[in-house]
């Protein structure tokens, strides 16, 4: 059939050429496609890092498939799903990390949502206003793998590996400090508060601060930290002084630190060293407190004006404060003594304490404080409630040596240590005044007054007499005396005739004496002259010069 | 069955036509015959049409997977980075209030390629088995596949246009991502596949041979 249909005319014959490439090579196309697809899968598989889940309080700003995880602004992963936790208390975001970010799935990595934040310390994360929130990451040093994280609600203030040091500060309370509060050194910000937590026993707060390098070298083992928040106003002799750190500190709080003045240990503090956070600079710069000790005092007097936190001073050095004031009842004496509890810091006494401790050790006293105190009490150490301010009547406790204090028994083993007390100055004064008043009352002021009155009347009479008769006579007598004195004055004046006459008389007398001597000398030499009279050749009496004083007596002694 | 069954076909008459210069030659049943006039290869049907079409179809299908899984476009507006796959883009369009656009993109990017895979697969299977079922409709289907082929390049065009037009730095920016390459490859390979398929095979029913 088919042959019939074939047209066998002069149709051209096709040329037969050598075979072309096998058509089955077309299978290379799907093979290549498969290879490409496979490579994609392998690439995706190899590039896929670990998947971690991070729980947050809220999913605000978290967008599955869009929100990225960034470390140093480099994308290291992406949120794949966000779901509510089973107990509905938080949200869990699944994050697919990139393979290069495998190290972020380790135990001490931290994650937080970066949202725009405006605080007193400044504005942060402002770029997220437009781009939406992202998850910030911070990697730690740990190698331990972990894939379940709890996201931080606030960004950490310190990233791992930031140069600097972390220190612990112990404080009674947090004050106005917060995470991120600045740390100042000489009013330059050198760090910030990185975290804080209540102490286990609830009796304080521990703050962790971070000081950036290179300023961390200024923290020494003897550095003092104090709360720099607030305004310190003081009125002194030189007027009103207002002392603050920066304005931001006043508003938001801050911590300042400095080394104490004077010689101190200047070795650099080690990482995680603990310090005490003082309330103000004054307390911070005071000698170190050392270990606090609790003492008790029993006062048999009213302590009106003594308040908790009143200072306790030892010889004028503040070294503690009152922590409790309680009334007690003494059945024997039916009185109400006041029990005052105080915390004292013996270290504040500085050198004195050191020496006392050394002495106590040398003596072999094991209970250093109590035995030492015992000796001091023997020497008259007593606690007194003294008036610190006469205007407000506030009291403070003073520990002083009262040598005249009556002896008391001292139990060095009692806990807490009970310091014997003495009545305070004010009490003493009161007592003395009362004594004086009592004595004064006994004085017979009435009779004394009457007698005095009589005496005064007599005196009055006498004085009248004196005025009437005695005084005029006295006057005339005085006038006479004045005259006499005037005469005497005239007589004895240097230019008075009496004076001149006297001078002349004396000269004459001198002359006469000399003549007499010449005469006697002459008669000594010439005794015959008495008989014969004076010879002519003899020199006149006045002619010979006065002989030398030695000759005269020798000549005179010859006869 | 009808007239078509009785009328002779070129193969029945031992003739073969050159596709290039239209010279009609005697069919020598040789595998590698060439036109004596213009030298182009002669074959009764497109050579290895089934095999090539299958291969290309499979390749296109393989590429279609990454084309849908990988993101095709990244839009950055005001720092907000948004990577879109084909499907997420369609969903976004739908959610953000352009359902008409969403339908168009869905048709062009999802339905059309899928339709081409199904249609070509159907044509291949039915023709290989020499089925005589719905011959004319199958021919129409083939023409439809050829016709709609290039329309599925819509996504590629959109990405190319946006990338070229939207470059405003931080405010707005569009970048193409690898997905669009695979999508383009899928479209191109399906078009080639539909071209390698010889529609005459539809009519080469087993019945005609016997």
In whole angstroms, give the CA distance from residue B129 to residue B116: 20
Yes or no: say if A325 and A397 are a contact pair by the CB < 8 Å rule: no
Test B51 with A26 for CB contact under 8 angstroms.
yes
Contacts of B34 in chain A (CB under 8 A): 14-17
The pLDDT assigned to B82 comes to 79
SS3 A295: strand
Contact A385, A303 (CB under 8 A): yes
How many angstroms separate the CA atoms of A346 and A380, rounded?
18
A112 in the Ramachandran plot: left (φ > 0), alpha (ψ -120 to 50) or beta?
Answer: beta
Q: What span, in angstroms and rounded, lies between the C-alpha atoms of A163 and A523?
A: 131
**What whole-number distance in Å separates Cα of residue A343 and Cα of residue A308?**
11
Q: Which two tokens stand for residue B16?
A: 């073969």
Q: Residue A152: name the closest of A194, A96, A99, A199 by CA.
A: A194
Selected residues 12-51 of chain A with any CB under 8 Å from a CB in chain B: 12-20, 23-24, 26-27, 29-30, 32-34, 36-37, 40
A22 CA to chain B: closest CA distance, Å?
Answer: 10
DSSP string, A192-248: EEEEEEE-TTSS-EEEEEEEETTGGGG-BTT-EEEE--S-EEEEETTEEEEE-S-HH
Asked if the Cβ–Cβ distance from B33 to A30 is below 8 Å, we say no
Which of these ranges, A507-521, B117-131, B144-158, has the smallest mean pLDDT?
A: B144-158
* 3-class secondary-structure state, position A262: coil
| CB–CB contact B55 A20 (8 Å) | no
Both structure tokens of A186: 């000489």
Mean pLDDT (whole number) for B141-150: 84
d(CA A259, CA B172): 55
Q: With a cut of 70, list the residues of chain A below it in pLDDT.
A: 1-9, 18-23, 117-131, 157-158, 230-239, 243-252, 287-289, 364-371, 389-392, 412, 425-427, 536-559
Interface test with A, best of B27, B63, B70, B117 (most A CBs within 10 A): B63
- Residue A127 has its nearest CB partner, among B23, B39, B79, at B79
- Cα separation of A472 and A476, whole Å? 7
Set out the domains of chain B in order of their start, with CATH numbers.
1-44 (no CATH), 46-204 (1.20.140)
CB pairs under 8 A between A and B: 109
Domain boundaries, chain A: 48-150, 164-285, 293-423
A559 interfaces chain B, CB cutoff of 8 Å:
no
d(C-alpha B119, C-alpha B137), whole Å? 11
Residue A385's nearest CA partner among A401, A400, A396 is A396
- What secondary structure letter does DSSP report for A106? B
- Chain B interface, Cβ < 8 Å to A: 8, 12-16, 23-26, 28, 30-37, 39, 41-42, 47-48, 51-52, 55-56, 58-60, 62-63, 65-66, 70, 78-83, 88, 185, 189
For residue B62, give the nearest of A13, A17, A34 by CB distance.
A34
Q: Which of A16, A30, A66 sits opposite B59 (nearest CB)?
A: A30
CB contact under 8 A, B36 and A11: no
**CB spacing of B81 vs A131 below 8 angstroms:** yes
For residue A236, the cross-strand partners are A239
User: Which helix or strand (DSSP H or E) is residue A251 part of?
Assistant: helix A247-252
Partners of A18 on chain B (C-beta within 8 Å) are: 32
Three-state SS string over A276-291 comes to EEECCHHHHHCCCCCC
* CB distance A161 to A66 below 8 Å: no
Closest CA to B47 of A497, A24, A526, A520: A24
Which of A5, A13, A127 comes nearest B26 by C-beta? A13
Strand A110-114 to strand A134-138: parallel, antiparallel, or no bridges (unpaired)? antiparallel
- Mind listing the pLDDT tens digit for each residue in B24-39? 888 777 767 788 888 8
Burial of A238 (0-12, 13-18, 19+ CB in 10 A): exposed
CA distance A119 to A181: 11
Residue A325 is predicted with a pLDDT of 87
The number of residues making up chain B comes to: 210
CA distance B137 to chain A (A): 29
Contact B63 A33 (CB under 8 A): yes
Q: Is B41 in contact with A20 (Cβ distance < 8 A)?
A: yes
Phi, psi at A357, each rounded to 5°: -65, -45
Interstrand relation of B24-26 and B73-77 (parallel, antiparallel or unpaired): unpaired
Q: What number of other Cβ atoms are within 10 A of residue B146's Cβ? A: 15
pLDDT, tens digit, 9 for 90 and up, residues A76-101: 888 888 999 888 888 998 988 888 88
pLDDT of residue A457: 92
Average pLDDT for residues B100-114, to the nearest whole number? 87
The interface residues of chain A toward chain B in range 109-138, judged by CB-CB distance below 8 A, are 127, 130-132
- Give me the pLDDT at residue A130, please: 66
- Residue A72: the pLDDT is 82
Residue B17 has pLDDT above 80, yes or no: yes
Closest by alpha carbon to B14, among A256, A201, A4? A4
CA A286/CA A345 separation, integer angstroms: 12
Question: Do A29 and B55 lie within an 8 Å CB cutoff?
Answer: yes
What 3-state DSSP class applies to A457? Answer: helix
Query: Which of A15, A18, A96, A114 best tests the B interface by mutation, with the highest count of B CBs <10 A?
Result: A15
Would you state the pLDDT for residue A234?
63
Residue B8 in tokens: 């002779």
Give phi and psi for A337, each to the nearest 5: -70, 155
E-only strand ranges, chain B: 15-17, 24-26, 33-34, 73-77, 80-84, 172-176
The whole-angstrom separation of Cα A55 and Cα B133 is 61
Using the CB atoms, write b or e for A157-169: b if 16+ within 10 Å. Answer: bbbeeeebbbbeb
The model's pLDDT over B49-85, given as tens digits with 9 standing for 90+, comes to 888 888 889 999 989 988 888 888 888 877 677 788 8
Q: For residues A212 and A165, what is the distance between their CA atoms, to the nearest angstrom?
A: 7
Collapsing DSSP to helix, strand or coil, B106 comes out as helix
Is A15 within 8 Å of B13 when comparing Cβ atoms? no
- Distance, in angstroms, between A127 CA and closest chain B CA? 8
d(CA A301, CA A308): 17
Backbone CA torsion sign across B147, B149, B155, B160: negative
Of A386, A416, A404, the C-alpha closest to A312 is A386
pLDDT at A22: 63
CB contact under 8 A, B26 and A14: yes
Helix, strand, or coil (residue B162): helix
Q: Provide the 8-state DSSP code for A24.
A: G
Q: For residue B31, which residues of chain A lie inside 8 Å, CB to CB?
A: 19
Looking at beta carbons, which residues of chain A come within 8 Å of B52? Answer: 23, 26
pLDDT for res A299: 84
pLDDT confidence of residue B210:
40
Who has greater pLDDT, A558 or B120?
A: B120
- Find the length of chain A: 559
Task: Choose the closest CB to A11 out of B25, B63, B189.
Answer: B25
* Residue of chain A whose alpha carbon sits nearest to that of B25: A12
Q: Which helix (H) or strand (E) holds B91?
A: helix B86-95
Start-to-end Cα distance in chain B: 13
A252: closest CA among A177, A314, A320, A348? A177
Considering only CB atoms, A131 lies closest to which of B24, B52, B79, namely B79
Cα–Cα distance list, A485 to A136, A477, A479, A500 (Å): 119, 12, 10, 21
Residue A240 CB contacts under 8 Å (≥ 6 apart), including other chains: A233, A234
Residue of A33, A63, A133 to mutate when probing chain B, most B C-beta within 10 A: A33
> What is the C-alpha to C-alpha distance for residues A325 and A311, in angstroms, rounded to an integer?
13
């Amino acid at each position: 059939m088919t042959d019939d249909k074939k047209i066998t005319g002069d149709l051209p014959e096709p040329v037969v050429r050598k075979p072309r490439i096998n058509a089955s090579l077309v299978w290379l196309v799907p093979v290549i496609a498969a290879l490409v697809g496979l490579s994609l899968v392998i690439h995706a598989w190899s590039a896929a890092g670990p998947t971690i889940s991070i729980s947050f309080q809220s999913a605000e700003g978290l967008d599955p498939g869009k929100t990225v995880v960034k470390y140093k602004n480099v994308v290291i992963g992406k949120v794949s799903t966000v779901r509510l936790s089973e107990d509905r208390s938080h949200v869990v975001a699944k994050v697919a990390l990139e393979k290069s970010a495998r190290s972020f799935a380790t135990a001490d990595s931290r994650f937080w949502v970066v949202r725009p934040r405006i605080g007193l310390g400044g504005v942060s994360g402002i770029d997220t206003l437009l781009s939406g929130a992202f998850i910030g990451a911070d990697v730690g040093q740990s190698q331990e793998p972990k894939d379940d994280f709890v996201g931080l609600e606030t960004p950490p203030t310190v990233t791992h590996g930031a140069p600097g040091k972390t220190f612990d500060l112990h404080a009674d309370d947090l004050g106005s400090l917060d995470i991120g509060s600045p740390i100042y050194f000489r009013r330059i910000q050198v760090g910030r508060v990185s975290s804080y937590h209540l102490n286990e026993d609830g009796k304080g707060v521990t703050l962790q601060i971070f000081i950036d390098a290179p300023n961390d070298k200024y923290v020494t083992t003897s550095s003092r930290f104090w709360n720099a928040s607030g305004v310190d106003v003081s009125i002194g002799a030189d007027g009103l002084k207002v002392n603050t750190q920066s304005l931001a500190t006043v508003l938001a709080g801050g911590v300042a630190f400095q080394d104490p003045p004077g010689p101190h240990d200047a070795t650099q503090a080690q990482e995680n060293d603990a310090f005490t956070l003082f309330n103000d600079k004054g307390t911070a710069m005071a000698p170190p407190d050392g270990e606090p000790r609790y003492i008790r005092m029993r006062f048999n007097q009213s302590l009106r004006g003594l308040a908790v936190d009143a200072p306790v001073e030892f010889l004028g050095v503040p070294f503690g404060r009152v922590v409790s004031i309680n009334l007690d009842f003494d059945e024997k004496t039916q009185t109400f003594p006041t029990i005052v509890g105080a915390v004292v810091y013996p270290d504040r006494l500085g050198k004195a304490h050191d020496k006392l401790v050394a002495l106590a050790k040398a003596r072999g006293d094991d209970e250093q404080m109590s035995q030492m105190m015992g000796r001091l009490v023997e020497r008259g150490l007593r606690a007194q409630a003294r008036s610190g301010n006469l205007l407000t009547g506030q009291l403070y406790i003073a520990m002083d040596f009262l040598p005249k204090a009556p002896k008391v028994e001292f139990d060095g083993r009692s806990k807490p240590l009970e310091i014997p007390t003495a009545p305070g100055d004010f009490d003493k004064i009161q007592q003395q005044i009362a004594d004086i008043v009592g004595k004064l009352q006994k004085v017979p002021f009435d009779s004394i007054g009457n007698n005095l009155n009589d005496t005064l009347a007599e005196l009055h009479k006498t004085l009248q007499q004196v005025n009437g008769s005695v005084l005029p006579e006295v006057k005339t007598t005085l006038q006479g005396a004045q005259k006499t004195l005037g005469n005497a004055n005239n007589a004895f004046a240097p230019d008075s005739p009496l004076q001149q006459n006297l001078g002349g008389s004396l000269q004459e007398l001198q002359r006469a004496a000399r003549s007499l001597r010449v005469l006697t000398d002459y008669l000594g030499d010439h005794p015959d002259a008495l008989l014969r009279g004076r010879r002519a050749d003899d020199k006149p009496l006045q002619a010979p010069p006065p002989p030398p004083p030695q000759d005269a007596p020798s000549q005179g002694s010859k006869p | 069955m009808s007239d078509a069954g009785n009328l002779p076909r070129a193969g029945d008459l031992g003739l073969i036509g050159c596709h290039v210069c239209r010279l009609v030659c005697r069919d020598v049943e040789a595998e590698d015959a060439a036109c004596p006039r213009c030298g182009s290869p002669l074959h009764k049907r497109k050579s290895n049409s089934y095999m090539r079409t299958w291969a290309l179809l499979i390749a296109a299908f393989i590429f279609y997977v990454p084309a849908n899984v990988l993101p095709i476009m990244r839009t950055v507006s005001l720092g907000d980075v948004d990577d879109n796959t084909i499907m997420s883009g369609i969903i976004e369009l739908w959610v953000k209030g352009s359902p008409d656009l969403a339908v168009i993109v869905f048709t062009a990017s999802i339905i059309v390629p899928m339709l081409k895979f199904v249609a070509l697969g159907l044509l291949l299977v039915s023709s290989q088995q020499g089925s005589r079922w719905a011959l004319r409709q199958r021919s129409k289907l083939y023409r439809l596949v050829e016709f709609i082929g290039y329309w599925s390049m819509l996504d590629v065009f959109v990405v190319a246009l946006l990338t070229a037009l939207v470059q405003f730095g931080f405010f707005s920016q569009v970048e193409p991502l690898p997905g669009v390459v695979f999508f383009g490859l899928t479209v191109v390979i399906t078009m080639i596949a539909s071209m390698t398929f010889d529609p005459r095979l539809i009519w080469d029913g087993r019945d005609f041979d016997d």
